[in-house]
Amino acid sequence: MAKLSEINTAAYKTFVRPWLRTLVTQQTADALVALHPLRLQHQLLSDANPVAWWIRQWAGWARTERRAIDAGHPLQAAESRAADAIAEQLNSFRDARDQAVRDWARWFYGPQVLGALLPPDVPDEELALARAAADLEHARRDALRQAGAGGFAAAVCRIVLAGMVSIGTFERRSLHLARLLAAHGRPGGGAGSRYAGTLSSAEWSALMREQARITALVPVEALNALNDMIPDTTSRENALALAAAVLMIEPTLANPRSEIIEYLIGTLDVDPIRVIELAKEMTESIARSGGERPNHAMAKQAVCQRPRKLR
C-alpha cells in the first residue's frame, strides 16, 4: 500500500500537477470549495437557497406550537424505541462497512493481487542486521586464514590479549602494553628479547591491534594455532613468560591468575616453574629501573595451577 502511494504521488507530481497549476485559478479554487458536498448540503437548507423559504416559516410554527408530554406517554416510548432501532441499524451498517473495507483492502493489497506486483521492501533493521552478519562472517573467514600466521611476537600478543579477556579486562591500552613488550623485547630486556627481536613500541602496538582482531573473532582457533606459531619448547616457555611478565607489570592486570595461561601451560607442554622463573627475570629488571613491582608470589601460585579445560 505504501509503495502504491509512492507511485501515485510520483505520477501526480510528474503528469498532473504541472498542467493543473496552469488551469486552476483562485476563483476556480473558491468555487470548488463552495461546491464541496459537505459544505453544500448545509447551504441548500439555509437562507442562501431561495427555494427553501418555507423552512423558516415551518420552523417558527414548530417552536411556537411545541408542547411537552408526560414521561410515560406512549409516543415518547415509541420515539425512544425508534431512536434506538435507528442507532442500532446505523451502528450495524458502520461495522459491516468497516469490516468489508478491511477485508477488501487485505485482499486487494495482499500477496494475491497487488502484493504480488509490489511486494513490500525489507525493513531497514533487517537489512542492517543482514549486512552486519555478512560482514562479521567475512571478517571471521579472513581471521581464520590468518590465525596460523605470525611468529614469536604475534604469539606473545595473542597470549597477552587472551589473558586479558579471561581476567575480564579487555582495555584498548595497546600503547602502554606495547611499551612494556618493547622494553622486554629489546636487547638486555630479558630472556624473551632474543625471540622478540627489536620491535619498537609502534610496531608492537600495530601487532597487538591485528592480533586483537583475530583473538576477538576466532578465539579458540587463535589459541590452538599457537602450537604452529611457536613450535619448540624454549620459544613457548619464553612466550608464556613474556606474556606473564606483561600481565604482572600492568597495574590493572596485576593478578595474572588466568585460565587461559593455565590452559596454555598444559596444551603447550611447558614447565610452569621454568615459565615463572623466566617471568621473574624479565620483571625484576623493570623493578630495578624504577618500574612497578610485580606480584611474583601470586604469579607463581597462578601459573603452577593444574591446567584447566578451555571452554
pLDDT of residue 260: 67
Q: And the C-alpha cell for 89?
A: 441499524
Region 2-13: mean pLDDT is 92
189 has pLDDT over 50: no
Q: Give the CA diameter of the chain.
A: 120
Region 113-122: mean pLDDT is 85
Is the Cβ–Cβ distance between 282 and 189 less than 8 Å?
A: yes
Is the Cβ–Cβ distance between 271 and 237 less than 8 Å?
A: yes
Q: Phi first, then psi: what are they for 152, rounded to 5°?
A: -60, -45
Contacts of 258 (CB under 8 A, 6+ apart): 163, 166, 167, 247, 302
pLDDT of residue 162: 76
Domains of the chain by residue range = 8-57, 88-120, 130-303
168 has pLDDT over 60: no
Is the pTM here over 0.85, yes or no? no
Residues, the chain, total? Answer: 311
Average pLDDT value for the chain: 76
pLDDT category of residue 86 using cuts at 50, 70 and 90: very high
Region 35-46: mean pLDDT is 86
Cα separation of 35 and 57, whole Å? 27
What DSSP state is assigned to residue 230? S
What DSSP state is assigned to residue 120? P
Q: And the C-alpha cell for 191?
A: 630472556
73 has pLDDT over 90: no
